[in-house]
Amino acid sequence: MRFGTVRLGTPVVLAPMAGVTNPPFRRLCRESGEAGLDAGDVVPAANGELVGPSGLYVTEMITSRALVERTPVTMKMIEPDVGDPVRSIQLYGVDPATVAAAVRILVGEDRADHIDLNFGCPAPKVTRKGGGAALPWKRDLFEAIVQGAVVAAGDVPVTVKMRMGIDDAHMTYLDAGRIAKNAGVAAVALHARTAAQHYSGDARWEAISRLKNELGDDIPVLGNGDIWSAEDALEMMERTGCDGVVIGRGCQGRPWLFTDVVSAFHGRSVRVRPTLGEVAAAMQRHAELMSEHFEDELKGVRELRKHVAWYLKGYRVGGDSRHDLARVSSLEELTELLGALDLEQPFPDDAEGRRGRGGGEKTPRLPDGWLESPCLSQSERERIEAAELDVSGG
């Protein structure tokens, strides 16, 4: 699959996840993906081409305004995983001028090889400002952001990630897909849920088929939602006709899912089934990489805390150990706590399947009067410009 100058040797993308897909986690996923490759699977890069052999590993969402202001937190967030040949950054923004300025920083300072735009976030603090999944409802604003980003990016490919719409009565994805294609994006990705669905129920893969039919073969369509195994990834491709898959929660606490998926895309059936000892080694390495990345051991192990339950899902680990691991405060303590577990334990079937965020439907919070018109009113335009100033820190 190709996004302009970027070629993916395997049509797999690690979904941007705020608070999760920082450089250390991206590295673990990428290395796992590379472990699923055999020599000869991927044609080497030709002149002027960048190749992600095992796929694309995107940053968490970066707030355009915070990037333009160069806040230290944001500059840290856009640091690449140095082993990744393709530096892929996701931007979030609501104001076309600010998003374009952020793109100019990334491209002008050679900080990114691919830029994704986030139009899928359902978080109330984002949608009530008209951002994320609420934004494509305003066709003119959506078009202005996407067009401005594509122009500012020049040869660097820009893609769009979106949801189906705000709710079933306010679907946006087919219009947004057409607008994005006409604006010159290199691909679109669809998380096949509405904002109202949040992470509940099942992703509606049939929407991915509809989008693919709508956009034809002119640009790749990536499918996203509820891929928990290599089999799911192949099934999504087959059922929807999409060109590639985007994987989020399925790899939380399980970066080796990328070995399975990458190997499956190259026609093999490698399936990583780690013992608890292997999982513990991965947790320790994850914490060490985060401590190095943040140059702060406490911050590194604190960041690991949120991954603990995901890593241990399905394994027999007592409540006390889980409790202590979720409060771990040094690398040495982590080694001790992990060393005390029954590390010979084989892979449990319960480790498969759903993980991470779930929950029920939620009525999206929107700016007053947002649904009254698909175009921005003057007062909404003024509010949107101000909204960009409010969200900071990535």
Ligand X SMILES: Cc1cc2nc3c(=O)[nH]c(=O)nc-3n(C[C@H](O)[C@H](O)[C@H](O)COP(=O)(O)O)c2cc1C
Residues belonging to the active site: 121
Question: Rounded to whole angstroms, how far apart are CA atoms 169 and 167?
Answer: 5
Report in angstroms how near the CB of residue 170 gets to ligand X at its nearest.
Answer: 19
Nearest to 90 by CA among 105, 81, 103: 103
Nearest to 242 by CA among 281, 263, 216: 216
Which residue in 33, 120, 274, 364 binds ligand X (CB under 6 A)?
120
DSSP 263-279: HHHTT--------HHHH
Site membership for ligand X, residue 52 (CB under 6 A) = no
Site membership for ligand X, residue 15 (CB under 6 A) = yes
Quote the DSSP letter at residue 229: S
- Tell me the one-letter amino acid at 296: D
Report in angstroms how near the CB of residue 138 gets to ligand X at its nearest.
Answer: 18
Nearest to 258 by CA among 51, 5, 15: 15
How many residues of this chain interact with ligand X, rule: CB under 6 A?
A: 24
What b/e sequence results for 349-373 when a residue is b if at least 16 CB atoms lie within 10 Å of its CB, and e otherwise? Answer: eebeeebbeeeeebebbbbeebeee
Q: Which of residues 311-370 bind ligand X (CB under 6 A)?
A: 356-357
Which residue in 13, 28, 227, 283 binds ligand X (CB under 6 A)?
227
Which residue in 7, 129, 204, 249 binds ligand X (CB under 6 A)?
249
The answer to whether 79 and 113 have CB atoms below 8 angstroms apart is no
Segment interacting with ligand X (CB under 6 A) among 107-115, 166-174, 221-229, 358-366: 221-229
Instruction: Go through the chain and tell me how many residues it has.
Output: 394
Site membership for ligand X, residue 17 (CB under 6 A) = yes
Report in angstroms how near the CB of residue 37 gets to ligand X at its nearest.
Answer: 22
Show the tokens assigned to 283: 């947790």
Site membership for ligand X, residue 223 (CB under 6 A) = no
Which residue in 136, 248, 274, 364 binds ligand X (CB under 6 A)?
248
Site membership for ligand X, residue 11 (CB under 6 A) = no
Q: Which of residues 74-93 bind ligand X (CB under 6 A)?
A: 90
Residues found near ligand X in the complex (CB under 6 A): 15-20, 60-61, 90, 118, 120-121, 161, 191, 224-227, 247-250, 356-357
